[in-house]
């Protein structure tokens, strides 16, 4: 299991940031991702493997137009 913004979510072998974003349908573009308090830069979303038990924060940076 991992937590995503505080909610428990299934972990799977080889889970990357990109895969997690797709699985959660997080399609908004202005986001920042932290895994265990470390920032993951966008170019590494497809390769960064999220470890089991990780705390993931996916912050959507907008408060409306």
* Closest C-alpha among 44, 6, 4 to residue 23: 4
Segment interacting with another protein, rule: CB under 8 A, options 10-18, 25-33, 48-56: 25-33
Kindly state the helix (H) or strand (E) to which residue 20 belongs, with its residue range.
helix 17-23
Q: Does 63 bind another protein (CB under 8 A)?
A: yes
Does the footprint of another protein cover residue 8 (CB under 8 A)?
A: no
Given 12, 23, 28, 47, the residue binding another protein (CB under 8 A): 28
Give min distance, CB of 65 to another protein, in A: 5
User: What is the Cα–Cα distance from 14 to 45, expressed in whole angstroms?
Assistant: 12
């Amino acid at each position: 299991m991992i937590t995503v913004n505080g909610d428990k979510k299934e972990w799977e072998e080889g889970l990357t940031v990109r895969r997690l974003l797709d699985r959660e349908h997080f399609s908004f573009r202005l986001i920042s991702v932290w895994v265990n308090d470390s920032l993951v830069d966008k170019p590494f979303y497809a390769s960064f493997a999220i470890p089991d038990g990780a705390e993931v924060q996916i912050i959507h940076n907008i408060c409306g137009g």
